[in-house]
């Protein structure tokens, strides 16, 4: 059964829209935990458009579950992670002009640099996850870096039409199986919603889903704790009729 990492970046987005102090993602992370979040995820971007260093430091002191730091593979971020020591680091590609993370890391072309970062982080006990597309070449490269985890990018699945979704889902299932065969642990995320999450949650061997925008959006209507509870329930009890008829052992 997959667990739920709640990405709270969009709470900070609302705060930064007015460059003020509210809403504060730090105390609200507790509400997400009370709703059943198994972990809290934040992306500290180079341009600081939402999460700030202050948020990361306070979350490190207050999160009771697990704190997952999404970050680019830059010197500044590596030093921040080594200083704050989150429970996990997820390395993502980052472009200044993008609205959100647009694709997976090209691990295959940057294997040596990523391997060095993994060694540095895991050497002091911070497990590293690499955010990648479900492509065999990238999964094999991720395994060679010795990262403990990958996070499979579900953006293409999320954006695909309902006709194309089973095809994208099959790629994620295949990628998960391959990664686990190579000894990697597997998370997934990006673009998951209350409407499309169940088939991903039902994948055999899928450990954690990182979900942000849809939960924060729903929380405006029903409250954060309730929005997290609803998502957790879907993840833990994916309905058979939503799984496109795909069965797994």
Q: Interaction with ligand PXP in 14-43: which residues (CB under 6 A)?
A: 43
Interface residue with ligand PXP among 7, 65, 138, 176 (CB under 6 A) is 7
Contact call for residue 70 and ligand PXP (CB under 6 A): yes
Q: In the bound complex, what is the minimum distance in angstroms from residue 245's beta carbon to ligand PXP?
A: 26
Residue in 10, 50, 70, 168 annotated catalytic: 70
Residue in 10, 43, 50, 156 annotated catalytic: 43
Q: Smallest Cα–Cα separation from 48: which of 84, 82, 75, 72?
A: 72
Scanning 25-33, 49-57, 208-216, 219-227 for contacts with ligand PXP by CB under 6 A, the matching segment is 208-216
Contact call for residue 104 and ligand PXP (CB under 6 A): no
Contact call for residue 210 and ligand PXP (CB under 6 A): yes
CA dist 27 and 74 (Å) reads 28
Q: In the bound complex, what is the minimum distance in angstroms from residue 247's beta carbon to ligand PXP?
A: 27
Is 151 annotated in the active site?
Answer: no
Is 70 annotated in the active site?
Answer: yes
Contact call for residue 190 and ligand PXP (CB under 6 A): yes
Is 190 annotated in the active site?
Answer: yes
Measured from the CB atom, the residue of 33 and 151 that comes closer to ligand PXP is: 151
Binding site for ligand PXP (CB under 6 A): 7, 9, 43, 70, 90, 92, 100-101, 131, 151, 189-192, 210-214
- So which residues are the catalytic ones? 43, 70, 190
């Amino acid at each position: 059964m997959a667990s739920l990492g709640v990405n709270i970046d969009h709470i900070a987005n609302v705060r930064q829209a007015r460059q003020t102090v509210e809403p504060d993602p730090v105390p609200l992370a507790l509400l997400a935990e009370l709703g059943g979040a198994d972990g809290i995820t934040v992306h500290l971007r180079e341009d600081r458009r939402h999460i700030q260093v202050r948020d990361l430091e306070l979350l490190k002191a207050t999160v009771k579950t697990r704190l997952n730091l999404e970050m680019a593979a830059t010197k500044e971020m590596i030093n921040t992670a080594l200083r704050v020591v989150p429970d996990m680091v997820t390395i993502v590609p980052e472009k200044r002009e993008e609205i959100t993370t647009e694709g997976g890391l090209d691990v295959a072309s940057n294997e040596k640099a990523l391997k060095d970062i993994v060694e540095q982080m895991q050497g002091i006990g911070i497990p590293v996850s690499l955010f990648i597309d479900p492509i065999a070449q990238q999964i094999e490269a991720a395994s060679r870096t010795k990262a403990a985890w990958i996070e499979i990018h579900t953006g293409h699945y999320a954006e695909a039409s309902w006709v194309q979704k089973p095809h994208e889902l099959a790629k994620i299932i295949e990628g998960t199986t391959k990664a686990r065969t190579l000894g990697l642990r597997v998370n997934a995320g990006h673009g998951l919603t209350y409407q499309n999450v169940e088939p991903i949650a039902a994948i055999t061997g899928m450990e954690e889903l990182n979900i942000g925008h849809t939960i924060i959006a729903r929380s405006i209507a029903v409250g954060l704790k309730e929005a997290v509870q609803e998502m957790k329930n879907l993840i833990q009890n994916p309905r058979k009729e939503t799984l496109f008829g795909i069965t797994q052992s």
